[in-house]
Structure 1
Amino acid sequence: MTATTSTATTATPTVTGERADLLVALAKQRHFLRFTTRDLTDEQAGLRTTASALCLGGLVKHVTSVERIWANFIVEGPSAMPDFSAWTEADFARREGEFRMLPGETLDGVLAAYEEVARRTDDLVATLPDLDATQPLPKAPWFEPDTEWSARRVLMHVVAETAQHAGHADIIRESLDGAKSMG
């Protein structure tokens, strides 16, 4: 099995085995998330269609941010992660903006940012010297103290996070206009 990046502009080196499997899993979940935004206007991408504060454009923005942070973590370690213990109300308000379309943002712009992060992650998967390389997780209430994650585990986490949010996006899209990702 071989895999290449999902972008048409820059090809990731061909890989096999586990790395190919990771790239295929990432590409599949990214596709389902992006597919929920097909044929939408910027306004529609920013609409809340459920009791949740989430919208389709905001979900793509959030997944972009999450993937960027975790890819940086693989390379840089815990310094790439936010220090939530030092966050102010302004930091949390900025984070909330990650879940919605802000004035001036476009769906095309949000999707382009996601594509760039995906390309970078795909390149990392293809070229990382060792998927077993570990980094210590930063201190946070949701991480076990003194825990390290391998690059492999981080990438599996990104696949799971993307899949979870693709499911959220499917519900939001179906609530918007009845369109479904599958079925």
Structure 2
Amino acid sequence: MTTSERVLTGERADLTQTLGRHRGFLRHTVRGLTDEQAAARTTVSELCLGGLIKHVAVTEERWMRFAVGGAEAMQGEPLDWANGFRMVDGESLAGLLDRYAEVAARTDELIATLDLDASHPLPVAPWFEPGASWSVRRVLLHLIAETAQHAGHAGHADILREAIDGSKTMG
């Protein structure tokens, strides 16, 4: 049974709907853009709207691997830090959005089925407290915050889009 066939209630519904809303803001921000516009760097950084879609999809996918199997499962394929926030040859906005939709669908399935209280030790990294663990719930809250930070009103995506053509997600 898929999430679309299942009726989520309570906390699971709240988490799914909130994450979905912020994903929607991010997708809305890139509506109507060409691949060239989505790849345009409108600030001094390497960040572009297509790269932002790619980054959020990769981040969501990695954290959900952590939610399922812990730090080892999070590793997967090595991150391409140099190209993680930009579009590279062969990437299209449509392709990045399709990939993001696949990741989102998988996450929604996991929200419906995982034990939200299950917990795993965080990977060793200077930005995590040594020995700390996160529950699946905490991972989902982190993904909501991460997605909201990049999307929505005055988020990274809005700033980049406004520099392209003056459009904003809200207003």
Q: Post-superposition shift, 1:12?
A: 5.3
Structure 1: segments with no counterpart, 5+ residues: 6-10, 84-90
Cα distance in 1 for partners of 2:95, 2:82 equals: 18
In structure 2, how many angstroms separate the alpha carbons of the residues matched to 1:57 and 1:117?
16
Q: Which of 110, 117, 127 does residue 132 from structure 1 map onto? A: 117
* In 1, Cα distance between equivalents of 2:85 and 2:46: 8
Residue 137 of structure 2: aligned partner:
152
**Does structure 2 retain, via aligned residues, the 8 Å contact 1:33–1:165?**
yes
Equivalent residue, structure 1, for 2:166: 178
What TM-score, normalized by structure 1, do the two folds share?
Answer: 0.87
Say which of 10, 23, 32 aligns to 1:17. Answer: 10
1:55 alignment partner in structure 2 = 48
Measured on the aligned residues, the alpha-carbon RMSD in Å equals 1.6
2:31 is aligned to 38
Aligned residue-pair number: 166
Amino acid of the structure 2 residue aligned with 1:100: R
CA gap of 1:101–1:160, structure 2 versus 1, over 3 A, is: same
Contact 1:14 1:126 in 2 (8 A): no
Task: In structure 2, give the amino acid aligned to 1:112.
Answer: D
Cα deviation 1:95-152 (Å, max 9, x = unaligned)? 2211100001100000000000000000000111x20110000100000000000000
Q: How far did 1:31 drift?
A: 0.5
Q: State whether structure 2 residue 69 is matched by structure 1 residue 76.
A: yes
Q: Does 1:165 align with 2:150?
A: yes
TM-score (norm 2): 0.93
Measured in 2, the distance between the counterparts of 1:63 and 1:124 equals 17
Q: Which runs of 5+ in 2 are unaligned?
A: none
